[in-house]
Amino acid sequence: MKYKELIASMTLEEKASLMSGKDFWQSQDIERLGIPSMFLADGPHGIRKQAVAADKLGLNAGVPATCFPTAATVANSWNPELGEKVGEYLGEEAITQKVNVLLGPGVNMKRNPLCGRNFEYFSEDPYLAGKMAASYIRGIQSQGISACVKHFAVNNQEQRRMSIDAIVDERTLREIYLTAFEIAVKEGKTKSIMSSYNKLNGTYTNESLHLMRDILRGEWGYQGTVITDWGGSNDRVAGLLAGNELEMPTTGGETDRDIVLAVRGGELPEEVLDECVDRLLDLIFTTEAVYRRPHIDFNVEHHHRVSQKVAEESIVLLKNEDGILPLKFGKKVAVIGEFAQHARYQGAGSSIVNPTILDHTMDCFEESGIISIGYEQGFERYGKKNPKKIEKACALAAKADVILLYIGLDEVTEADGLDRQNMRIPDNQIDLLDALYRVNPNIVAILSCGSAVEMPWIGKVKGLLHGYLGGQAGARAILRVLSGDVNPSGKLAETYPLHYEDTPSAPYFPGNEVTAEYRESIYIGYRYFDTAQVDVLFPFGYGLSYTTFEYSDIRVNRDGVTFRLANSGSTAGMEVAQLYVGCKSREIFRPAKELKGFAKVFINAGESKTVTIPFDDKTFRYFNVKTDSWEVEAAEYRIMIGASSADIRLEDTLFVEGTGAPLPYDKDKLPSYYSGNVRQVGAVEFEQLIGRPLPVADWDRSRPLGYNDTIEQCQYAKGAIARLAYHGIVFAHWFLRKIGKRSAANLIMMSIYHLPFRGIARMTGGAVNMPMVDGLLMMANGRFFKGLRHFLKQRRLKRRAERA
């Protein structure tokens, strides 16, 4: 232990106190021993440190900070160096705001397009997500603070996220859902990790000895700190035994007392507590740059320009019929769409940033060189239909050479705590597009959203530019691509299916009341579409340029692959060359191809470069459930270089010696997995894959409500008051949406509807403790007066103890 002497000087109570927050955003300090508190702040794409009420959770406006493009956007750059630059600037601003731990980046997989938090995550591919995350971490931690990779692990839906049990086979867990975290730990060397809310195969993730000790600490050698998601602690002692050091936010000392009692009762060995304290102290003292450095304001304008550069390199050109882009000099454009006037530039919820500057399209035209003949709103932002706005837009469109149509998803559709209901953009925007097409077919759509959407309307646009969520300078970045000042080089970090129903996880998402079954196994995203040969709208890795690239002269050896890449067009540009590997053996089920490397290369017009993509320890491995370890199958492997997962330009083969491991599966019992057609996997076959019977998926209505049951499940409560409360919440949500207060309606779903009863204690900063929750449960379970007396009694006892 690094801090053995300091720990020896602590009382048991002091050690326990360090394991929980001081308030909602700070860790506990011990003044007599010179141990300061740390400040933790949201910030995957910008610092969110609340300007007021910093001791409360809330969603108050943050101190102004640069709002960089979200992770889903920057992943489209396929440029880890750019990610590291973003991290450096995030770290610099964190230092300015005295933030020790920046809560990001998020590396959960995009298992399903409807996950409401996909805008915060990089990719459907763990290799790309891991490489981008590691670059962010290196940048953030270069400034002397800590990144905090989240959410560990298998947190791929927002619905019931604090109670859902993710049922995943071990191989899928390792290859798909843990690989990005592994890269973040081993290559990024993150100092802290945030555990997720959910259960994994029956155990809360922060209490899972297999996840936290066997894999994270054991296999990966992680020495850093694990922090709960806010309110994510279930059994505090079990969390410490697993190695989850810091519980956030504060519980008003309640779980401190649980720790002390557990040590004195022999349930928690004090040496285990000492190890946890030691790791937390290391995080505190290695982020001391926050305290040492004098306050220096960051250069707001410079950071804004960096944000613009990042957005420019992350924009994806999806369609360019008749070469409508870049816009020809002198073309008159009509600008239509609410998002042109008021940019859609970030997601909603815990990561929302208060930008230092905010560019809007209509304010940036003069410097772009594009000739605008006017602007019309065209549609209501939150979906309400307005024929008059469409009429005005059509009148303007009739006078233009080209229409720039700004469409996408609104802020309350993509949000922390909620999943999307469908993959469509609002009907009122499609009505507008249909009307414009009848007037003037020269339409360039600029799409703003943080996740995949269906596009049955794509035949009515000649150009399609996807800006994702481009941060505070995204509007200007888009104009620079439209004008041709910037040659687009972004490529999709996720697949765009033709229809949501084509998604392999669609039949199993978001799961039932108790469990979410990952029956599709390793086949997510392009791994499924390419293997099952399902047509898609846009494949993984796809993106157009204003120039063309030619691939040639592939050479493969045991160290990697080398090839020539030439810019055969007339414009300098950047190309993302992608390495995919496919095993030709059929003894173990595998995707047709998997991303194993990539390189982003700048090439001037008419020039060519030699590109080398090396193999690494992940190129040929698979996880063998019989040996419980990573193995290599002896086989011929297809080595593919492509411009996307569906556009393979070069191919060779390589025989790789294996590790001689026994075959892990009985092929005859897993026909869906060996074929790749996993959209209708039966329960018996899935049980064969996971090696155990499936747990009950629906809530048992015959039993009383408990700590881990949610407010939603009060609909089954024996107590009439609980059922009435449930219906009151449902009505309030419906009514708020009806009157247009969608943000308030979302807040009800985020903070109340899916909150487990224990969360009432864990998220109120000690205002409500677990004995008081016992009283609430008694009332919910039909013993109203007994429960009310118990609640009031425990509240009196709590207040008396606080006064004492």
Give phi and psi for 613, each to the nearest 5.
-115, 115
Q: How far apart are CA 375 and CA 364, in angstroms?
A: 13
Contact 299, 93 (CB under 8 A): no
d(CA 148, CA 108): 13
Q: Dig out the tokens for 279 from the structure.
A: 């790791």
Asked if residue 630 lies in contact with residue 621, where contact means CB atoms within 8 angstroms, the answer is yes
Q: Where are the alpha helices (DSSP H) in 36-159?
A: 71-74, 80-96, 126-141
Residue 105 bridge partners (DSSP): none
Q: Residue 179 burial (CB < 10 Å; 0-12/13-18/19+)? A: buried
Options 229, 256, 359, 709, the catalytic residue: 229
Q: Cα separation of 45 and 86, whole Å?
A: 8
Question: How far apart, in whole angstroms, are the C-alpha atoms of residue 153 and residue 72?
Answer: 18
C-beta separation of 794 from 771 below 8 A: yes
> In the beta sheet, which residues pair with residue 447?
407, 466
* DSSP assignments along 406-458, one per residue: EEE--TTTSBTTB--S-SPPPHHHHHHHHHHHHH---EEEEEE-SS----TTG
Asked if residue 772 lies in contact with residue 791, where contact means CB atoms within 8 angstroms, the answer is yes
Question: DSSP characters for 504-526?
Answer: TTGGGSS--SSEEE-TTTT--TH
Other Cβ atoms within 10 Å of 421 Cβ, number: 9
Residue reference for tokens 């989240």:
150
- Please say if 485 is a catalytic residue: no
Q: Give me 722's structure tokens.
A: 């609980």
Q: Which residue has the tokens 């602690």?
A: 233
What are the residue numbers of the active site? 229
